Structure formats: structure tokens, C-alpha cells
Structure 1
């Protein structure tokens, strides 16, 4: 049985071209990327041990082995953090845990007050599952017509993978889908992620599960949003992590170019933004 840690190591190995590490091209092979024997040699571990990790038969590699694998795969800082997280949850998979349940949707009054102070800016409170827990009127203004806020409990991840309108709203749909799937590995807890994945996978299909099992952190790029009347809007995203007890983020969208700034100003002149907290 595979594990998140094994899936990640295998996916990363498959994504690496041998020549990028100065290794010779050994001709055609059944699977792409770096050979298992080459990675084992770079990490100074046996091929048999690497096989056990990738196949999920070894769930508790030491810190030294994790560091060796990270070095051998030339992981960046984000990927190294993700590797450690996957090792942690993989090692605890055998322990008995209560039945997963959805996380709290409560947003503290002081966070709601912070949103109020950000008006007429574009900001919202979310968690790593993609729940849109509260937002400014500015956020509602720029996503109006996309369908994202149509649900009583809007969720960006569910919207991206199950609502056809998302592919029009996000010109870079593949990038957004990669981001939302990867975020599920980061919380708000292992149990909450398991609950959400079990709920979403049957309706989201292979587009979701394929990305979920890839484990490769997506690049950080501006978000493009296609507005029905304002046209294409481009945003930089500033994410502020709230205390761990909240397991939430305050995300502020900042115009990435002058065209977006002008388009949003025109939208504001036509509407009045009001804070709306979603319980």
C-alpha cells in the first residue's frame, strides 16, 4: 500500500531528467525520470530501502534519511518542508484516530474586524481546505458572477474541481487546481484533510486525485481572474497565517498591474462593498 511520503518521493524522482544531475542517458525505459538506483546512490542508501519507502513498506525513515533524500532530489525549501510533513503523517497512519470531521467555520470577531478595516480592499478568510469563511465586499465584487459564492458554505477547492464555470473564471485553471490540491496536504489537520478528500474525490474525479497524489508544490505566480464585465484581473496574493488554533489564513489580493487597478475602481463606482461574514 502506498503512502503520501512514498508517493511524493516517487513523483519527484519521476519528474527529474537524469542529465540535469549530470547522469548519462541510458536509453529508453519503462518510466520517466531518475532511476531508482541513481537516486539511491545519490542518497547513500540501498535500492532495496528506497523501494520500501516508495512502496509504503517503510513508514518511519530517520531524519538523516529524509535529509539525504532531500539533498539527493535537490528539493527547495518548500519541498523540504512538505517532505517532513508527509513523513510525519505517514509515520502516524497506523495509529488509531477518531473519525475525521469537518473543521470549524467560526471566524473570530477580531478577524472579522480586521476584514472590515481592509474595506474596500479584496480579502477573504480561508483554510487549507479552501473554505471561504468570511470576506470583504471588495472580494464579493470581483468574484461576482463566477458562482464561487453561490453556495451557503462556499469552498474554493470544491468550486474549482466541480463547477464548470471555474474553468472560465480562472484562465490558468490548471495552476489554480494544482494549488488547491497541494494545499490539502497542509491542513488544517490530517483528519480534516482526510475528511474533505473523502467527500470530494468521488465527485471531482481524476483531475483531483491525480493532482492530489503528485505532491509537487506548484510555482508561485499571479492569480488571473476573468470578470464578466471588467475583463481579466491579475492579482498578487499575500497570505497571513492566523494562530494555529484557528487553522485559517487571511488572504489579501493586491492588483498586479495598472489595468486591474483601474478595472476594480470602475467596479467600485458601480457598487457599494459591504463586509459579509459567512457562518
Structure 2
């Protein structure tokens, strides 16, 4: 992907969502486009207009961290959006690193990680690699979500499951929220590895197969948090309210462990235990 174009699109979208009154400015006549003008952002950030225009055109190699922080504050960026801005602005130094990650990260799963997953008898959990590739999971995850082993390994991507598999729309009570979360995750992945050809190909595929992905991708949202809750509409157990946390192994930052659990003592916790107990009996 072109990080300069990504930086341009992101800054334009963040500028467009702000109104003058949002940042303490008076309205000055009709506007041809929505949001703040470039000169207003430059003034709020206390940088020259030419400097800001160069940044919005993706020419960020000579822009200091101080200027980036000032622009981020002027645009009222969240912490996640700031990280994304800095990642794109500093992406030139990451080109070689992206290639190294592609060569070295692989898709292997340590036996100890699989053992930990399997030890979570009543707790759905799975391991996600680069670009949202599902690498490993436990039996409770199969019972609560679906049997990931039925999906060919190269297609076992979170983005493709959510936007390309109709089962996902029946699985999540709030599919839109899940879809936004996945898009935000992929946007963050682009910020981390803008030169990754596999990631670029995955984004192009999702853009080609899903109008919903095109709509959400154009919003330029990034992932703000890696925890939350969701409601799973299980075909036999009914609604399952689950909390989830995303954990990152210290020595493999390209992989994420996602663990789901219901509130102790809740009907959802009892239903998950029952699902897993039936599985153990069948085995």
C-alpha cells in the first residue's frame, strides 16, 4: 500500500469531521467542503500552511515529532489515531522491517501456546497472526464460534470470515460493531506495516467482495482498544454475553491471543460450560 496516500486520506478525513465550532473557531462564510480548511488546521497547530499542506500530501519524512503532535492535537485525534498518524509518517524507515517480518514471522505456533489454549476447558480462545490470520484455537472456541479447521488455512482470516462468510452475520448480535472492530484492526495493521504486500492484497480482496467493507474502510477509523464485550447468537445455546481481552506475547508482537469469558455466575457462563461439557462427553 502507498503510505503517502494513506496519510493523505487519513488527515483529510480527520479534518472533514471537525466543524469550526468544535475547535473554538468562528464560522467564516460558506464552505465548499465539509470540515475545517487546511489553513485553519495549520493555525490551530501553529505550523505554516505550506508545512501542513506538505504533510497532508504525504510528505512527512522531514516533519518533526513536535509538529506531528501539534497536528494531532489540532485535529483532536484519539490515542489510537495518534499512533496511526505517527506510524504512517515514519513508514519510510519501516520498508525493510516489513520485508523482514514477512520472511521471519511465519505462521508457526509454539506447542506451549497450543497447550495453554487446550487447558482453557470452558474458555473460548484463539491465536491471531499477521493480517488477522487464525493460527490456533481451542475446543470451546469451536463450540461457541465455528469449526475453524473446516476453512482452508490461507482463507482463515478474520476479515474474510466477517465480511465474506454469511455465518458471521448470524453469529454476532451486533454484526456492525464487530465489522467496525475488524476494520479498525486492519487499519492499525496498515499503520504498522504499510509496505506488507500480503496485507495490501487482503485489503484489496475485501474491498472487491464487500460493500460494507468499502463503506467502513472509507471512514478511516482505527482500533482504539483491544478488549470489550459481545453477544454471540449461538444456534442451540441462545445468546451468550461474553467479555474479551486481547493479550500479546512478549516475544512475538505479531501474534495476539484473544480470550473470551462470560461473567461468573451468569446464564451465559452456565451455557458455555454446558456446551463444553457435552463436547468432552462426546470425545
TM-score when normalising by structure 2: 0.81
Residue number in structure 2 paired with 1:270: 278
User: 1:158: which partner in 2?
Assistant: 160
Deviation digits for residues 199-258 of structure 1 (CA, Å, limit 9, x no counterpart): 442343453345445432355542222211222222221111013446111111121582
Kindly indicate whether the alpha-carbon contact (under 8 Å) linking 2:187 and 2:223 is maintained by their aligned counterparts in 1. no
Following superposition, the deviation at residue 134 of structure 1 comes to 0.8
Residue correspondence of structure 1 range 33-44 to structure 2 within 5 A: 33-44=35-46
User: Residue 223 of structure 1 corresponds to which residue in structure 2?
Assistant: 230
Residues 188 and 223 of structure 2 are in contact (CA less than 8 Å); yes or no, is this contact kept in structure 1? no
Matches of residues 107-256 of structure 1 in structure 2 within 5 Å?
107-144=109-146, 149-153=149-153, 154-187=156-189, 190=193, 193-202=196-205, 203-212=208-217, 214-218=219-223, 220=225, 221-245=228-252, 247-256=254-263
2:267: which partner in 1? 259
Higher helix share: 2
Question: How far apart, CA to CA, are the structure 2 residues paired with 1:45 and 1:59?
Answer: 16
Change (3 A) 1:267 1:227: same
Shift of residue 115, structure 1, vs aligned partner: 1.3
Distance in 2, matches of 1:10 and 1:216, equals: 13
**In structure 2, distance between residues paired with 1:149 and 1:235:** 23
When the two structures are aligned, how many residues end up with a matched partner?
272
Residue range with higher mean Cα deviation, 189-198 or 35-44: 189-198
Q: Structure 1's 127 and 67: CA in aligned 2 closer, same or farther, altered over 3 A? A: same
- Alignment counterpart, residue 20 of structure 2, candidates 4, 18, 21: 18
Task: Return the alpha-carbon distance in structure 1 between the equivalents of residues 26 and 158 of structure 2.
Answer: 44
Query: Do 1:170 and 1:226's aligned partners in 2 also have CA atoms closer than 8 Å?
Result: yes
Q: CA RMSD of the aligned region, Å?
A: 3.2
Corresponding residue to 2:48 among 46, 49, 61: 46
Using the alignment, how far apart are the partners of 1:99 and 1:22 within structure 2?
Answer: 46
CA change 1:274–1:92 in 2 (3 A) is farther
Deviates more, 1:169-178 or 1:256-265: 256-265
> Runs of 5+ in structure 1 lacking a partner?
none
Which residues of structure 2 form unaligned runs of 5+? none
